[in-house]
Amino acid sequence: MENTPLIFFAFANDQDAHLGLLKEESRVLFQAMEELDRKEYIRVYREESADTKDIFNGFTRYKDRVAIFHYGGHANGSHLRLEAGVGDSRGLAALLGEQKTLKLAFLNGCSSKGQVKTLFDAGVKAVIATSVKIEDGKAVYFAQQFYEALANKRTIGQAFGLAQAYLQTHYGDSVDVSLRGIDLSDSESQESKNADMPWGLYIKEEYREEVLNWKLPYYHPVGLPKEMIQYIGSSFTANLFIILVLDEMCKYNPDIYAQMMEQRGEEAVRKDSRQYPGIIIRNFPWPIGSQIRLLRLYDKPNQERLEHLVSTYVITSQLLYYILLSDLWEHSRGKEPKVNWPYLVMDKAAISRFDFLAQLPELYRQVTAMGLPYISEFELLVEAMAQADSPLNKAHQYLEQLREQLRTNPPVADMEKLCQRTEQAVSIILRQAAFLSAYRLLTVRNISISRPRFEALAYELDMGPLNAAQGIDLNLYQDKAFRRKANFADSFSVVLVANENNLDQSLNLSPFVMDKNTFVQMKKSETTEKDKLAHIFLLGWEDGKRLYYTAVEHSFFTALEKESDQVHTDMTLEDFTEGRNINAQAEDDFGFDFGLEDSGASKMDDEGPKVFQLLKDQYEMLKADL
C-alpha cells in the first residue's frame, strides 16, 4: 500500500575495521519487522552495503513515506562510514529533514550524539544517538530490543525504555572487542566505552509528545472489500451481522481474508460463503468461538436464540475482563502498594449479574499505570467506551437491560425483531473485540527439556490451539519440530500469545481460564479419543472454600444452572471416574471375599488429591496480591 509507513534500514561495513555482527544486526532487525511487513501494515526497505547513492535513491523512491531511518555501522560525531567512504552528516541531515513523515533517525554507531544538533537544525524531529563508543554486540542487542518492542505495539518512548532495561539486565558490565567508531584513536577516552547507557533519545521539544507516543500501525483502516461485504449480505439471513464481524477482524489479521479466498488456477476467487462462519469461529479464542458456534445451531428467532446471543455478549466480555485482570496481576505481583481490586471474591448471584464490560476502562487504567499492557489494542475499546453516544456504549446498555429482563421477565413478543436487534448489538461488541483474532489461545499441558549432546537446549511443549470451528475436538500439535521451542510458556496453563514462536512473550490466563483435561487424567481406555477434547472452563464464583468454574460448551445461563457444566476445586480424580456410585463393600452381602481390600475399588470413598488444587492456590495468591 502506498500510504504504509516505511522503515529504512541502512548498514555499512569497513574492511579495515570490520564489524562482525553487522550482518546479524540486519537479520534480527528485519526479523523483528517481518510479520508487520508481511501483513502490509508497514514496509521494510533494507540496504546492507549502503553508500551515499543508495541512501539518496532510497529516499527518492520512498519520498514522504519513511517513518524511521536506521543506520548501523561505524560513526563519530560528524560522519558515518558508508561503503564508498566517509559520509558527512550535514548532507544526510538535509536529506532526512526533507522527509515530512520521518519520526526518528536511529544512528547506531559510536559517539553519534554530535550529529544530533545538525539533524535538529535540518528539521529532524527525534534522534537516537550514542554519547560514547559502543560495543558491537551491545549495539545489535539494543537495536533488536527496540524494534521488537515497536513491533509489539509499543510507542517509541516505551520501546526505548524497554531496550535500555533489557540491555542493563542482559549485559551488566560485560564488554566486547569490536567498537563502532570511525577512528578508534580519537579524543574520547577508552574508559568511556564502558558507560552504563550510551544511547540517548533526543527529541525537539515541540515534537516531544508526538514522538514519544508514536507507534507502528497494527491494523488496516479498511477491512473487507465492498464486494465481499455485499456477497456476505446476499448469503445470510440469520447470523448476518455476526458474519460481518469478519470485516473488522481483517483489519487486525489480514490472514483472515486469505482464508476467505481460494486459488483456482491463476485466479483468486471467493470461497463458498458457507465456510465463513467457521472462519470467524476459528479466529476467535475458544470461549467466544464456542458461543458463535452455538448461534449456528440456534438460528430461529425464539427465546433460545435470544439467550445464546446474550450469552455470546457476556462470555466475550468475561474473557476480555479476565485478560485485563490477568495482565494487572502480572504487573502488580510483589509490588506495593497493592491494587485492591474490588471484584475478586464473588458469589454465584453476583457473577450472574456482574457487568464485565463496564469494568474494562478502570482495569485498563490500572494496568497502564503500572506498565505496558500485553494487548495494547484495548486502548481502542476503552476510547470507544469513553464516548457516551458511541455504538459500543449503546449496544452495551441495551444488552445489559436485556440480560436483566431475561433473568426476571423473559420477553415473548415480536421475537424476530428482538433477535435481529440483539444480534446487531452483539456484533458491535464482537467488532470491538476483533483484535483478539490477532492472538492465539493455547493450552500448554506439559513441558519437557531436550538437550542432545552438542545441540542447543530446547523445550518440547505438549500444547495445542484452542478453537471451536467444527466441534469441540482439540488436537494437540503432533509436529515434533514445531513443538520444540527455544523458549517456553508456563505449563498447566491456558495462555494468550501473539506469536506461537515467541512463547516467552505470552500472557498466562490461569486461574481465570482452564483446560480441564490438563488436570484430569483420563482412564487408559479413554485416552485415544477423550484426551483430544478441550473442556474449557471460565472462573465462576467462590462458595465457601470452593472455587467454581463454568464450561463454555453451552450458554452462560445454562452453565450457571447445570451442574454438569460446572467443576469445583474440591473435586478429586474419583469424581471423574466412571462408576463412582459402585460401592466395593457390597461384596459382604453374599459372604464372599473378592480380594479387593487393597485395591483402588475399595478406596473409592476415600478423599483423594484435589485435581484443581493448583488453580485454588493461584486464586489465593491472586487475592493476596490484588
| pLDDT one-digit tens code per residue, 275-287 | 999 999 999 999 9
The length of the chain is 626
Other Cβ atoms within 10 Å of 317 Cβ, number:
25
Q: Encode pLDDT of 436-467 as tens digits.
A: 999 999 999 888 888 888 888 888 888 888 87
Q: Cα dist. 461→321, 495, 587 in Å?
A: 27, 13, 45
Which amino acid does the sequence have at 454? F
Least confident segment among 47-61, 163-177, 300-314: 163-177
Q: Please determine, for residue 606, whether its predicted confidence score (pLDDT) is greater than 80.
A: no
pLDDT band at 404 (very low <50, low <70, confident <90, very high): very high
pLDDT band at residue 540 under the 50/70/90 scheme: very high
d(C-alpha 549, C-alpha 494), whole Å = 14
In contact, 54 and 62? CB cutoff 8 Å: no
| Side-chain half-sphere exposure of 205, counting CA atoms within 13 A | 0
Identify the band that residue 596 occupies on the pLDDT scale cut at 50, 70 and 90. low
Q: Which of 297, 341, 298, 343 is nearest to 318 (CA)?
A: 343
Which pLDDT does position 173 carry in this prediction? 53
pLDDT digits (tens, 9 = 90+) for 143-174: 999 999 999 888 999 999 989 988 888 766 54
Highest-scoring range by mean pLDDT, 110-119, 475-484, 558-567: 558-567
Burial of 581 (0-12, 13-18, 19+ CB in 10 A): exposed
Radius of gyration of the chain (CA): 29
Least confident of 210-224, 388-402, 469-483, 564-578: 469-483
350, three cell numbers: 453476583
Q: Give yes or no for a contact between 541 and 348, defined as CB atoms under 8 angstroms apart.
A: yes
Report residue 171 as a C-alpha cell. 549485559
For residue 598, what are the contacts with CB-CB under 8 A and spacing of at least 6?
none
- Decide if pLDDT at 614 tops 90: yes
For residues 607 and 569, give the distance between their C-alpha atoms in angstroms, rounded to a whole number.
13
DSSP 62: T
Report the pLDDT value the prediction gives residue 590, as an integer from 0 to 100. Answer: 65
- Place 555 in a pLDDT band, splitting at 50, 70 and 90: very high
Evaluate if residue 526 carries a pLDDT over 60: no
Q: If one looks up domain 6-212 in CATH, what number appears?
A: 3.40.50.1460
Q: Tell me, what's the pLDDT at 185?
A: 36
- In terms of Cα–Cα distance, which of 542, 561, 544 is closest to 350? 542
Minimum mean pLDDT range among 338-347, 367-376, 473-482: 473-482
In this prediction, what percent of the chain has a pLDDT beyond 70?
84
Candidates 440, 574, 412; CA nearest to 499 is: 440
Residues 6+ apart with CB under 8 A from 55: 10, 47, 82, 87, 92, 95
Q: Using CA atoms, how far apart are residues 87 and 112, in angstroms rounded to an integer? A: 13
Task: Indicate if the alpha-carbon torsion angle 617, 620, 624, 626 is positive or negative.
Answer: positive
Classify burial at 528, counting beta carbons within 10 Å of its beta carbon; exposed 0-12, middle 13-18, buried 19 or more. exposed
Q: What is the pLDDT of residue 601?
A: 47
Report CA torsion sign: 328, 334, 336, 338.
positive
**Mean pLDDT, residues 184-199 taken together:** 47
pLDDT at 15: 56
Tens digits of residue pLDDT in 192-249? 334 457 899 999 999 999 999 999 998 888 899 999 999 999 999 889 999 999 999 9
Q: What cell was used for 5? A: 509507513
Q: Residue 115, class by beta-carbon neighbours within 10 Å (0-12 exposed, 13-18 middle, 19+ buried)?
A: buried
Q: Which one is predicted more confidently, 248 or 134?
A: 248
Assign residue 267 a region (left: φ > 0; alpha: ψ between -120 and 50; beta: otherwise): beta
Average pLDDT over residues 513-525: 72
Distance of CA 311 to the CA centre of its chain: 24
pLDDT at 529 over 70: no
Residue at grid coordinates 475478586: 344
Per-residue confidence (pLDDT) for residue 528, from 0 to 100? 44
Task: List the domain boundaries for the chain.
Answer: 6-212, 226-437
Q: What confidence tier does 115 reach under pLDDT thresholds 50, 70, 90?
A: confident
Task: Transcribe 567-595 into DSSP letters.
Answer: EETT-BGGGGSTTTT--GGGGGGGT---S
Kindly give the pairing relationship between strand 536-543 and strand 513-515.
Answer: antiparallel
d(CA 312, CA 315): 5
Separation between Cα atoms, residue 261 and residue 270, nearest integer Å: 4
Q: What is the pLDDT of residues 63-85, one digit of tens each?
A: 889 999 998 886 654 567 654 44
Q: For 71-85, 112-126, 563-577, which range has the lowest pLDDT when averaged over its residues?
A: 71-85
* Arithmetic mean of pLDDT, 119-135: 90
pLDDT at position 517: 87
pTM: 0.83
Of the two residues 89 and 349, the one the predictor is more confident about is: 349
CB neighbours (10 Å) of residue 94? 15
pLDDT at 175: 43
Q: Is the predicted pLDDT of residue 599 greater than 80, yes or no?
A: no
What pLDDT shows up at residue 598?
57
Work out the average pLDDT over 168-195: 47
User: At residue 522, does pLDDT exceed 80?
Assistant: no
Is the predicted pLDDT of residue 111 greater than 70, yes or no? yes
Span 356-379, average pLDDT: 93
Specify the residue for cell string 544538533: 117
